[in-house]
Amino acid sequence: MLFDMVSTGSKVEWKKMGTEEDGFCYDEIKLGSEAPWKFRAGEENFIADLVKEFPEEEEGIREYVRLCKRANKKADMYFYGKVSARGEGDKNNNSATNTRSSPRCSPSTSNLCSIST
């Protein structure tokens, strides 16, 4: 969504990582001598791979994914709010003409920093 908002004139098209042969694996983790755990692209692949390893946990796995998506949407709104223009600026709240400075970084306010305008 963010890339759609900042792209000029055309929608960003993502290329799949990995290959068809590896199930479009975009990352893998190897612990000790165990076979690597491959992360395949796509929500349903993620769920299917976990259910294959933990079949008795399918309901919990699906609930985990649902909660992750919910948290991600909430985080999106939080971060979009952090990067949007603040203050009184012009009537369109254009950050280029916004003269009010953003909060400085401090442990008491946030771990995220804004650049003052």
Q: What are phi and psi of 46, to 5 degrees?
A: -60, -50
Among residues 37, 35, 33, 39, the alpha carbon closest in space to that of 16 is found at 39
Crossing angle of helices 43-53 and 58-83, in 10° steps, is 140
- Summarize the confidence of residues 89-96 as an average pLDDT: 48
115 or 49: which leads in pLDDT: 49
- pLDDT, tens only, 13-58: 777 888 888 888 888 899 999 988 888 888 999 999 999 999 999 9
- For residues 80 and 112, what is the distance between their CA atoms, to the nearest angstrom? 12
